[in-house]
Amino acid sequence: MGWDSLHGGGEQVGGSCHAKESTTDGAQPILAHGDVSVKFTRASGTRRGRIRRGYYSYSMNCLMTDRSTRLLDIGSNGPNGNWKMIRKQTDRWLVLIGILIAVVAADGRRQPPRTPYSRVFSFGDSLTDTGNAAILPITAGGPFTQPPYGMTFFHRPNGRASDGRLVIDFIVKGLGLPEPTPYLAGKTAADFQLGVNFAVGGSTALDPAFLKARGVTSFVPVSLSNETRWFDNALQLLGASADEQHMIAASSIFYFGEIGFNDYSFALSAGNGTVDVAVSLVPDVIAVIRSAVTKVIAAGARTVVVAGMIPIGCEPELLALFPGGATANDYYDPVSGCIKQFNNLAELHNRQLKRMILDLRRAHPGAAAIVRYADIYGPVTAAVASPAKYGFGGSPLAACCGGGGAPYNFNANFTGFCGTPGSTVCADGPCKSVSWDGIHYTEATNRLVARSILTRLPHTRSQALYK
């Protein structure tokens, strides 16, 4: 998209939401008494997806409080007394060892399955971009590079169009993978070894020239075909031979975030809110996504996740740009308040995308079980229709950050846009809002969407869904 927990999972402090982060660094006493600690290490995921070492501490009452007088006290009790004491101490140590074995075994059972993936390759627009638009000259310095972007989790702008983490951040954490490097931030194989994010804020599915021929103007000269060409470049850096490149792709997970919203949004603007041009683009957008997915499968991909379209009619930006006027009763959904024909456009996209995925499975039976559809539309529309159920506040269609006032906190002329003079952050904090800036989601919404995706993926570290 342009400039472009699980529900309510942040901790509200002083009017802003602060994400709770859990690590296992440092000792956590299980039996918190006594003087002897027996420690062991285990791998544990951390906020950036990398593996650190942590440890638990298991303590028992000290069995040997005075080493100078215990065990072999020959002379005072005689040999039989000494052996009785040794046996008594041995029995106690055996009990301790048994307890430790049981605890370690139980802890091992709690460990999530090891992920079979070594890295993630991700594609998309600003809902997935973790830094490329902040580097691309045409978008560098945009509002998303200014405070209060990043306030909830990173506490500073960091190239993400949100107050905190994106869906891709939760996916890599849930799978126990490293955070991928934004493609434009890397140059060498070492930069891309842990994964690459090719998504760019403002990018389109279709090439700018194609859109222009349809009377639609795009503003960022990056399309999905550009991103897949970048993937080719990165893969050639990572693998010296075709076989090595194939193995790298096979051991990775590919995530295609939502792509196509900008195509449809620009088409809606070109048509002054009419959907005809946007609807005509749907088959072309789906064909481009199919081509991109086919390309990575040909490169060796064995696990591909393809995200569907967001509920376009629930975007505060479009609600402010295209008010219903006299036809409001038929224009808005009576439950959610979203624009019905725009959501119908999103549903059309998602139906055709699901059909395309089924066709891909038939065309590539070796990858059939691992080309998966990721639903964004369902979780977001559910949160908008029943915000309290998902921990959100009473204005799910209003941007948290902006300067537009009621009802959407978004100005049609983009004055007071988040990150520019005149914008403010909602009083109850972004963790209570679905939309962050009228175009992009809050971390709380991204966590909700990621949970929906991750619960359908194998090898997920489920505890990461709640942090």
What proportion of the chain, given as a percentage, has pLDDT over 90? 68
Instruction: Write out pLDDT tens, residues 297-310.
Output: 999 999 999 999 99
CA angle centred on 101, ends 99 and 105, rounded to 5°: 120
The total domain count for the chain is 1
What proportion of the chain, given as a percentage, has pLDDT over 70? 73
Task: Between 235 and 364, name the one with better pLDDT.
Answer: 235
Instruction: Write out pLDDT tens, residues 184-194.
Output: 999 999 999 99
Residue range 64-93: average pLDDT? 46
The answer to whether position 42 is within a domain reads no
Residue range 452-457: average pLDDT? 92
Q: What pLDDT sits at residue 359?
A: 93
Q: What pLDDT sits at residue 451?
A: 96
The answer to whether position 73 is within a domain reads no
The answer to whether position 122 is within a domain reads yes
The answer to whether position 33 is within a domain reads no
Residue range 76-92: average pLDDT? 53
Only one residue has tokens 């049981």, namely 102
pTM above 0.75, yes or no: yes
pLDDT class of 404 with cuts at 50, 70, 90: very high
Residues 6+ apart with CB under 8 A from 404: 320, 410, 411, 416, 438
β-partners of residue 197 are 122, 182
Instruction: Write out pLDDT tens, residues 150-205.
Output: 999 999 999 999 999 999 999 999 999 999 999 999 999 999 999 999 999 999 99
Instruction: Write out pLDDT tens, residues 356-371.
Output: 999 998 887 765 558 9
Residue 77 DSSP label? S
Residue range 73-80: average pLDDT? 43
Burial of 58 (0-12, 13-18, 19+ CB in 10 A): buried
Task: Between 370 and 388, name the one with better pLDDT.
Answer: 388
The answer to whether position 87 is within a domain reads no
At 118, list the tokens: 């070594």
The answer to whether position 149 is within a domain reads yes
- Residue 381 belongs to domain with CATH number: 3.40.50.1110
Task: Between 55 and 87, name the one with better pLDDT.
Answer: 87
Q: For residue 219, give its domain range.
A: 10-19+114-466
Q: What is the DSSP string of 272-334?
A: TT-SHHHHHHHHHHHHHHHHHHHHHHHTT--EEEEE----GGG-HHHHHHS--GGGHHHHB-T
Residue range 436-461: average pLDDT? 92
The answer to whether position 174 is within a domain reads yes
Annotated catalytic sites, by residue? 126, 437, 440
Task: Between 297 and 42, name the one with better pLDDT.
Answer: 297
Is the pLDDT score of 320 beyond 60?
yes
The answer to whether position 316 is within a domain reads yes
Least reliable range by pLDDT among 90-104, 221-235, 242-256:
90-104
Average pLDDT for the chain: 82
Give the other-Cβ count within 10 Å of 134's Cβ. 24
